[in-house]
Amino acid sequence: MGLWLEACLELQEMHARLDVLHLSDISMLISPNYQRRFLSFSVPEPTMNDAVNETINTDEYQPNHSALLRRRYDVLEGGNTELYVGWADVQGQGAANDYCRVVGVDSNSRFLACSLAGSKGQGHEYVSERGFDVGLPGSWFMRDMDNDGRDDYCR
């Protein structure tokens, strides 16, 4: 049996024992009789077809998983970290990919602003009224409380 075939068979056995592969390049000893070899793996991006189907009440909101928009990590105005900052689903796409935060320096100018997944630029695509009550520290969260498929700011 050739070296390449031995390496492939041993690699198949090792791959069957791996639960999660986090590295793009790994080094492993093929056999005690051979020197260390570097094998390169490419891990494909996950797709919506890989997602686990969830049971959803058909009387409630049905998210559109085929058009899932990606999170934005380029938002410059991060918000006040002492107030609410987090990922939420204000678009109703079924994933918490919208970046929401409380913006403003005083209680009269504060508002909730969300940079929507899939959007571009530094504008506020989803905002509350200015002077909105943020609630007590540590009491705020965002969750769909009225079953409309969009997360609500709760305090």
Q: For 76-110, what is each residue's pLDDT tens digit?
A: 777 888 888 999 999 999 999 999 999 888 888 89
Predicted pLDDT at 81: 82
Residue 141 lies in a domain: yes
List the one residue out of 100, 125, 96 whose CA is nearest residue 112.
Answer: 100
- Alpha carbon 140 to chain centroid, angstroms: 20
Instruction: For residues 149 and 76, state if they share a domain.
Output: yes
- Alpha carbon 111 to chain centroid, angstroms: 24
Instruction: For residues 20 and 88, state if they share a domain.
Output: no
Instruction: For residues 81 and 33, state if they share a domain.
Output: no
Predicted pLDDT at 119: 86
CA–CA separation, 29 and 38 (whole Å): 9
Q: How many domains does the chain have?
A: 2
Instruction: For residues 93 and 132, state if they share a domain.
Output: yes
Instruction: For residues 74 and 33, state if they share a domain.
Output: no
What is the extent of the structural domain holding 10? 3-40
Check residue 46 and report its DSSP letter. Answer: P
Instruction: For residues 75 and 139, state if they share a domain.
Output: yes
For the chain, list residues with pLDDT below 50: 4-5, 7-9, 11-43, 49-61
Instruction: For residues 137 and 76, state if they share a domain.
Output: yes
